[in-house]
Amino acid sequence: MEILRVEHLQKVYQSRGGAAHLALDDVSFAVEAGTFLAVMGPSGSGKTTLLNLVAGLDRPTGGSVILADQRLDRLSEEQLARVRRRYLGFVFQDFHLLDPLTVEENVLLPLTLERAAREPEIARVREVLARLGLADKRDRFPFELSGGEQQRVAIARAIVHRPALLLADEPTGNLDSATSRIILETFADLHRADGATMLMVTHDPFAASYAERILMLKDGRLYAELLRGADDRPAFYQRIIDALSALEVAA
């Protein structure tokens, strides 16, 4: 089953001075359910632009995004907001937790946005917190947690409503390497054990090596795709490094 299809996506930013910048140029790809996809590319290559368009947070100047069988460009802002809440989960570089709320309240939030919390929903929150090894942290506040724990709470919040697609924007960008590894293992485990579908934007080859498929962007265009295939993670990492140096040589 296909979760996401991006067709001939184009984004032109018009600056106030009148100059146009082509941030995404004819990008097409599809994502099957259960895929762990990474999108890589140097700074300015269009990664965040692509993520924002996939999330329906911005509108393309050409082409389309089809998420869970719905063409996002045909939806009103209100319909888009509903699609986002229902089908997407978000994990950000800087966690985006709400400081006045406890861990449990933060994770409950996506379930209570549209209605009052009920018993089964609290049970679901506790199940997800336990799944992520946070059962004993549920009454703490974000500032009482380490960065890695805060990111795991953010992941719990992103998956609590069982989204069709989990979007992560540089999720290890603010973490040290040991903590990054724990977060990446968490994603890999959600993919392996729960069949989660993920799109992770990263410029870090180590983070990307946890994915099974990588799209590489350069100057707004897709220029390479790597599939992990039968490689183990270290062998895949080496192939990513080789592909990146080939890109630099070509630049």
Ligand X SMILES: Nc1ncnc2c1ncn2[C@@H]1O[C@H](COP(=O)(O)OP(=O)(O)OP(=O)(O)O)[C@@H](O)[C@H]1O
The residues of the shown chain that bind ligand X, judged by CB under 6 A, are: 13, 15, 21, 23, 41, 43-49, 203
- Minimum distance of ligand X from residue 16's CB (angstroms): 9
Closest distance to ligand X from the beta carbon of 197 (Å):
21
Lookup: tokens for 9: 């996506």
Nearer to ligand X, 44 or 62 (CB): 44
The amino acid present at 93, given as its one-letter code, is: Q
Query: Min. distance of Cβ 41 from ligand X in angstroms?
Result: 5
Q: What is the three-class DSSP state of 227?
A: strand
Cβ closest to ligand X, residue 48 vs residue 174: 48
> Considering beta carbons, is residue 22 or 66 the nearer one to ligand X?
22
CA distances from 194 to 34, 55, 162, 164, 231 (A): 9, 22, 10, 12, 21
The CB-of-198 to ligand X minimum distance in angstroms stands at 17
Judged on CB neighbours under 10 Å (0-12, 13-18, 19+), 20 is: exposed
> H or E stretch including 58?
none
Q: Report the residue number, 25 or 149, with the smaller CB distance to ligand X.
A: 25
Q: How far is CA 237 from CA 102, 152, 227, 241, in A?
A: 37, 24, 11, 6
User: CA 118, CA 139: separation in Å to the nearest integer?
Assistant: 18
Sign of CA dihedral 50, 54, 56, 62: positive
Between residues 9 and 160, which has the closer beta carbon with respect to ligand X?
9
- Which residues lie closer than 8 Å to 67 by C-beta, 6 or more apart? 3, 4, 54, 56, 83, 87, 88, 164, 165
Q: How distant, in Å, are the alpha carbons of 102, 127, 161, 212, 218 from that of 109? A: 11, 15, 10, 31, 37
Instruction: Select 46 or 171, whichever has its Cβ closest to ligand X.
Output: 46
Provide, rounded to whole angstroms, the least separation between the CB of residue 53 and ligand X: 10
Give 145 or 222: the residue with its C-beta nearer to ligand X.
222
CB of 5 to ligand X, least distance (A): 20
Q: How far is the CB of 239 from ligand X (least distance, A)?
A: 21
